[in-house]
A and B are shown apart, each in its own frame.
Chain A
């Protein structure tokens, strides 16, 4: 410390500059937040996504009515049961109820036919005990947000070919579908940022090699590439392992776009005077990249990442729909939609398309959110 203490006399003549208290009274973050809040679609998208993640990723068992894998022979292809507030006499019930469901075998077609039995009413209870599930995959519990007392049933979205409650399955499927997007994006960010930075900062041979790899990756058609890689996964792998592998496969193609964008940013930052200043003071390359470049590129990376999550969700759904992705008994939205592959199913049991609605909603919300963040983070949008 000795060598830097030196005698600067506080200048007597230099006028003290009063720091303007109000100049830019809003921090950069506050400005971005304000602009973001102004965009109603983006805010709506953000809320939907937040709800999705809380309900489906964190607490799917609690919000679901049943265990998603419980099969019921007496409730195959049961139609959705909607909660009722008004009975046939027009009397209003504060506590909603569902009608009973009678199941008969139609001897002509040998199919189960479900008839609503309006004589039986089952009130819907909230925070109630029902089928057992594991909270966070660890703790056994049986508390659900809502449910009815047996023998009543409450299939909000109906049931599938094995009599499993579709509502609970949609939530459980959401957990996988939304997580695949997230894990895939994290891998994308890591791969894209690291390779993009190396490419942009060091240039030369490394840049050439990375850019050629990027071009090669980009020239493959997506679905066949994913399908080939997914098909190569050993079938004996555990579902969890497969799930992770699928995430990796999805991000393998996804990082290229981000790498290019990060490279362009780094090339631009390299010309910025503050990067030159750091160089002039003797800062290492690592410091310049980590302290001066990546934090500045962060908002950019976040936007690209947000906008690439829907692509991941769609990709996972497509793969699973084709039977190449997530394998039962694990469910994802794509797995659920497999049931809706036949036109006859769709015509007779349209509720099986409901998972598709959730895919659309999630993808749209992510796009709105991403656009909103991009517009808000762009200092020139104003």
Chain B
């Protein structure tokens, strides 16, 4: 394995997001896409971020990458701190991502090099006029001072690691010559080519069939072990979360409603929203499970309810919920929830 040696300290903080507010300024008004979210991503762990469409999970990722369509959408408040992992026993200083210019060389150095991202639709993320190999080699040479042959060797190596058969030949193929699953693998290969410490995967398998998804998820887990990287996995699929995540963050309309270790989220969900999600998914072999849907629908971002955003749909809502937004509490160690039931 030619993986660069990173002294991995599992459990050490890699990225810290504090009170992040990201807003979009549209003709119809301001959309608070991310509304005061705080969490950390630890080294070597997988953080699953789950929520329905419009909950701000993708925007959180884009904020970390500083890939928002500024100035229409921008971080208005909060701090994102990146702690580069120790290298050769030298402690690197932390970087405040929110303070950087998004076009600056420092930000570009973090993006792709330290934090890599893969998207839902691999076809649009790969440039159709270049071969897959060229794109990976370019990514490598952008961040590492290596010659083309070294970069090419690395590209073949990483393609092999993502289980693309016959990588020496496939490296000169164009994106359209690959299947959807292989394109997503190529994207992962490109993301991994610079040994990132954090891989942000935004619905990486949503567009793929289950059998392909199973292979890619397995592959991502194996590579995480090898590379010792952290993964921030954004998905709406609780099954994918159950299979992949160590820690789970549940988001609802721009806010973090609950965060806990994966077993706690599934076996002891505290927030009524998380409980509702668990009750509304069908499971194989449990045909008799009566699905209890969450009533109503996600509120429009232009007309948010006062108090807790979930109150209008919440079966346990109290008067207080409709007046005041609940603060975050920690009813059991490591289990965070924002709900008046636990205050």
Contact = CB atoms under 8 A, between A and B. Distances in A.
Given A26-B28, A35-B27, A20 B300 contact: yes
A22 B299 CA distance: 9
B303 A22 contact: yes
A34 interface: yes
A22 B300 contact: yes
B296 interface: yes
Nearest to A382: B26
Interface in B296-326: 296-297, 299-300, 302-303, 312
B211 interface: no
Nearest to A25: B302
Nearest to A21: B303
A29 interface: no
B59 to A, nearest CB: 16
B318 to A, nearest CB: 19
Nearest to B294: A15
A18 B296 contact: yes
Given A22-B303, A23-B300, A17 B28 contact: no
Contacts of B303: 20-23, 25
Contact of A31 (B27, B296, B299): B27
Interface string B266-308: 0000000000000000000000000000011101101100000
A20 B299 contact: yes
Interface string A30-55: 01001100100000000000000000
B82 to A, nearest CB: 31
A22 B295 contact: no
A20 B297 contact: yes
Contacts of B312: 18
A17 B27 contact: no
Given A31-B27, A382-B26, A15 B300 contact: no
Interface string B9-36: 0000000000000000011100000000
Contacts of A22: 300, 302-303
A176 B312 CA distance: 62
B172 to A, nearest CB: 34
A34 B27 contact: yes
Interface string A1-36: 000000000000001011011111110000100110
Nearest to B72: A382
Contacts of B295: 15, 17
A17 to B, nearest CB: 6
Given A26-B28, A34-B27, A17 B297 contact: yes
Contacts of A34: 27
A31 B28 CA distance: 9
Contacts of A23: 300, 303
A6 to B, nearest CB: 25
A24 B299 CA distance: 11
B145 to A, nearest CB: 41
A21 B27 CA distance: 19
Contacts of A21: 303
Contacts of A17: 295-297
Contacts of B28: 25-26
B299 to A, nearest CB: 7
B127 to A, nearest CB: 21
Contacts of B297: 17, 20
A31 B26 CA distance: 12
A34 B29 CA distance: 13
Contacts of B296: 15, 17-18
A20 B295 CA distance: 13
5 contacts: A15-B295, A20-B297, A23-B303, A26-B28, A35-B27
Given A17-B296, A26-B28, A35-B27, 13 more contacts: A15-B296, A17-B295, A17-B297, A18-B312, A20-B299, A20-B303, A22-B302, A22-B303, A25-B28, A31-B27, A34-B27, A382-B26, A382-B27
Interface of A: 15, 17-18, 20-26, 31, 34-35, 38, 382
What 6 A-B pairs are tightest by C-beta distance, nearest first? Answer: A22-B303, A15-B295, A23-B300, A22-B300, A20-B300, A34-B27
